[in-house]
Amino acid sequence: MNEKNFQEKIEKEQKIEPKDWMPDGYRNHLIRQMSQHAHSEVIGMQPEGNWITRAPSLRAKMILLAKVQDEAGHGLYLYSACETLGISREELVQQLHDEKAKYSSIFNYPTLTWADMGAIGWLVDGAAIVNQVSLQRTSYGPYSRAMIKICKEESFHQRQGYEIMAEMAKGTAEQKAMAQDALNRFWWPSIMMFGPQDSESPRSGNAMKWKIKRQTNDELRQNFIDKTVGQAEVIGLTIPDPDLKWNEERGHYDFGEMDWDEFWNVVNGNGPCNQQRLDHHKKAHEDGAWVRKAAREYAKKNTIN
């Protein structure tokens, strides 16, 4: 009965709210997906944080710091939404540290030059936005609301990245080479951010039925590629895929084979920065333990809590 009511609500595009009955599978899927999303925002602070102190102008410094700060904020919106499912942020962070929860593999790639700030904003945020726009219509109310807020705030992220790329592409020969190199390194990992192909993605079925996900991995990926090809052309950079070409019949771009061995390698912990990212997060958490403890003790003693 419950299950039937629940599915009816979903079909009618009514949102599921925290106090509503939901199948365990739905709750677990949401916790997994939302916490992975939250962790990605937070771990995603590191590759860009890596360049804040080296940003080449006052303007670039402020923009990048504000952007990385937004990622912390978006992580918080998502943790906050996830907590409505009856799991605490502390538990979620523990799962991250125990490597039971994942985050987007894209953040396990190193940011080697300033152009990577451009590539990340343009491609990585661009891909994330395609996914997030779709998730605004997700069936779980708190998740949907968090996504709406995040999309509103992230609209500047992709633009700032593209602006960096555009500036560099029309700059000195060295700058243009740097921009092309960043595109070369980030292109494939970016389009793999949408996850395995639909034929390989075991959980997609329920997620689509429950309308947690509204579009499949392959649909989202295609959407992103179709949008991005023209943007690369405008600034005179070349997408590193010899098979990329417009398919009149499909009305989409065809593209080459992704390297799934590499994808799974990075997902399973063997990316260039997996260990470093996790260690960084753990260290910050441990370094802050005495501060959090002091604040709790102070609140207890002073009854201002």
- Which residue ranges make up the site for other proteins (CB under 8 A)? 17, 19-21, 42, 45-46, 49, 52-62, 65-66, 68-70, 72-73, 75-77, 79-81, 83, 88-91, 94, 114, 146, 149, 153, 164, 167-168, 171-172, 174-175, 280, 283-284, 287-299, 301-302, 304-305
Q: In the chain, what's the furthest Cα-to-Cα distance?
A: 71
Q: How far is CA 110 from the centre of its chain?
A: 16
Four-CA torsion 134, 60, 55, 273, nearest 10 degrees: 0
For the bound state, the minimum distance from the C-beta of residue 264 to other proteins, rounded and expressed in Å, comes to: 27
Residue 304: φ, ψ to 5°? -100, 5
For the bound state, the minimum distance from the C-beta of residue 131 to other proteins, rounded and expressed in Å, comes to: 21
Q: Tell me 16's DSSP state.
A: B
Question: In the chain, what are the helix, strand and coil shares in percent, each to the nearest 5?
Answer: 70, 5, 25
Considering beta carbons, is residue 213 or 277 the nearer one to other proteins? 277
Q: How far apart are CA 120 and CA 115, in angstroms?
A: 9
For the bound state, the minimum distance from the C-beta of residue 284 to other proteins, rounded and expressed in Å, comes to: 5
For the bound state, the minimum distance from the C-beta of residue 150 to other proteins, rounded and expressed in Å, comes to: 11
Considering beta carbons, is residue 79 or 210 the nearer one to other proteins? 79
In 3D space, the residue among 78, 126, 130 whose CA is nearest the CA of residue 103 turns out to be 78
Residue 253: φ, ψ to 5°? -80, 135
For the bound state, the minimum distance from the C-beta of residue 39 to other proteins, rounded and expressed in Å, comes to: 11
For the bound state, the minimum distance from the C-beta of residue 166 to other proteins, rounded and expressed in Å, comes to: 11
Q: How far apart are CA 67 and CA 48, in angstroms?
A: 9
Considering beta carbons, is residue 40 or 204 the nearer one to other proteins? 40
Query: Which residues, at least 6 apart from 155, have a Cβ–Cβ distance to it below 8 Å?
Result: 129
Q: How far apart are CA 116 and CA 105, in angstroms?
A: 16
Output Rg (C-alpha) for the chain, integer angstroms: 20
Considering beta carbons, is residue 108 or 223 the nearer one to other proteins? 108
In 3D space, the residue among 159, 190, 145, 198 whose CA is nearest the CA of residue 66 turns out to be 159
Considering beta carbons, is residue 227 or 285 the nearer one to other proteins? 285
For the bound state, the minimum distance from the C-beta of residue 82 to other proteins, rounded and expressed in Å, comes to: 11
Considering beta carbons, is residue 130 or 146 the nearer one to other proteins? 146
Considering beta carbons, is residue 147 or 192 the nearer one to other proteins? 147
